[in-house]
């Protein structure tokens, strides 16, 4: 059993057996802010203050997967959500995925695909015991901002994931080098382009997009977008490059991939990987899958831009076990006589208790009967407190003093 205070704010009810009477005391519940939203599933309950703007069709989803709770933050963009970390939870597992890059805007042949968003996972993120609020914001596809998980307390590390790079915006330049993974290069009528890089080639930090085909054809293949865990493939002839692979995580209870690159445009379009959109031989590519950070698949002709998939933040934790059985406390009455005004009372619990927060004022924690004051409250053992008081007894008049 955990150490308990007689005035601890908990959801359980504390029962006092006092001098033959049963008194039921229900402490006030922990108050949340007026804007707080509470969602539950099974034994999992999540409290948060929602942000605004961004993807209005998304939100916060909690899932009870047995011993653990999984919380998905899916509203991308806008203002941040503030999550209230449950009391007693000191360590969580965190996955942060950046938004996928958009497809290339222009080019005389197959367009370059968008890169997958960066995938960052911490298997054990530790909090300070007092920390409760965490700022969370996944970003939408095509954004230049990083998704993040940011504890409100200073000194704790922010977990962030960069967005995927945009596909090449011109057949005279490479793919966008910014972001978690590089965008693919767009093809042109002559000459071969190298796609922009996206990271340093380390799994989980993003890889380069694929280069474009050098085939002199309107259907020449554009480069595939780089993935979070492998590079995008180059366009070859009239075949668009496939997107690079995303990274796998089982944070939700089953393995899923995030941050795959989109497929490049071409007469035979490339295939998107792990949330990345497929390329297209027409004027419209396929969007990346939302909440995976997949890069956009690229079209071959026209000036249409496909959207990268929104990022996501996922938290998994083991809820703390709360002792819901209230302690039973017995306070024995003590009689005083005319020649002894000093009286004492013994408070005994059936488990460890703490009396340091007890008030010595009448009407707060105790009711005085024929007692003028409490002089001291002493912890005499882990489950016993001795309460010393002054009786109102007068000489020649025996009197019973009671504390309840």
Determine which of 168-182, 261-275, 315-329 has the lowest per-residue pLDDT on average: 168-182
What is the percentage of the chain residues whose pLDDT exceeds 90? Answer: 36
pLDDT top residue among 208 and 97: 97
Residue 260 to residue 241: CA distance in whole angstroms: 13
Is the entire prediction scored with pTM above 0.75? no
What are the beta bridge partners of residue 37?
48
Q: What is the mean pLDDT of the chain?
A: 79
Query: What Rg value do the Cα atoms of the chain yield, rounded?
Result: 32
The residues that bridge with 331 in the sheet, in sequence order, are 18, 347
Question: pLDDT tens digits for 160-200?
Answer: 999 998 888 766 555 555 556 777 766 655 555 555 444 33
Task: Give pLDDT tens digits for 80-103.
Answer: 999 999 988 989 999 999 999 999
- Which residue is associated with the tokens 């089953």? 254
Give the Cα separation of 135 and 235 in Å (integer): 41
What are the boundaries of each domain within the chain? 4-8+328-403, 44-318
What is the pLDDT at residue 199? 38
| Beta-carbon count within 10 A of 282 CB | 13
What's the confidence (pLDDT) of residue 258? 97
Calpha distance 259→230 (Å, rounded): 10
Helix (H, G, I), strand (E, B) or coil at 273: coil
């Amino acid at each position: 059993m955990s150490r308990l205070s007689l005035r601890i704010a908990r959801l359980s009810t504390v029962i006092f057996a006092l001098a033959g009477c049963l008194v039921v005391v229900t402490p006030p519940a922990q108050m949340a802010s007026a804007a707080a939203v509470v969602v539950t599933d099974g034994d999992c309950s999540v409290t948060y203050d929602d942000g605004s703007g961004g993807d209005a069709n998304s939100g916060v989803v909690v899932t009870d997967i047995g011993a653990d709770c999984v919380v998905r933050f899916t509203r991308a963009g806008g203002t941040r959500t503030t999550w209230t970390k449950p009391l007693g939870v000191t360590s969580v597992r965190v996955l942060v995925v950046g938004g996928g890059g958009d497809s290339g805007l222009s080019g005389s042949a197959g367009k370059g695909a968008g890169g997958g968003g960066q995938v960052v996972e911490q298997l054990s993120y530790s909090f300070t015991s007092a920390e409760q609020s965490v700022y969370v914001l996944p970003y939408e596809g095509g954004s230049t901002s990083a998704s993040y998980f940011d504890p409100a307390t200073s000194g704790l590390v922010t977990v962030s994931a960069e967005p995927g790079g945009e596909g090449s915006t011109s057949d005279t330049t490479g793919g966008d080098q910014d972001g978690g993974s590089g965008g693919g290069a767009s093809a042109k009528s002559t000459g071969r382009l190298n796609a922009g890089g996206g990271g340093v080639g380390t799994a989980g930090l993003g890889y380069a997009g694929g280069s474009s085909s050098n085939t002199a054809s309107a259907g020449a293949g554009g480069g595939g977008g780089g993935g979070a865990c492998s590079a995008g493939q180059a366009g070859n002839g009239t075949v668009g490059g496939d997107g690079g692979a995303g990274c796998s995580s089982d944070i939700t209870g089953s393995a899923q991939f995030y941050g795959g690159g989109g497929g490049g445009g071409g007469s035979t379009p490339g295939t998107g990987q792990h949330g990345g959109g497929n390329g297209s031989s027409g004027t419209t590519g396929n969007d990346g899958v939302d909440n995976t950070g997949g890069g956009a698949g690229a079209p071959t002709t026209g000036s249409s831009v496909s959207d990268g998939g929104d990022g996501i933040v996922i938290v998994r934790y083991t809820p703390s076990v709360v002792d819901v059985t209230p302690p039973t406390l017995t306070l024995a009455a003590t009689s005083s006589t005319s020649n002894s005004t000093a009286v004492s009372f013994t408070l005994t619990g059936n488990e460890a208790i703490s009396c340091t927060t007890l008030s010595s004022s009448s009407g707060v924690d105790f009711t005085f009967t024929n007692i003028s004051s409490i002089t001291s409250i002493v912890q005499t053992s882990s489950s016993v407190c001795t309460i010393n008081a002054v009786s109102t007894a007068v000489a020649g008049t025996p009197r019973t003093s009671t504390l309840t």
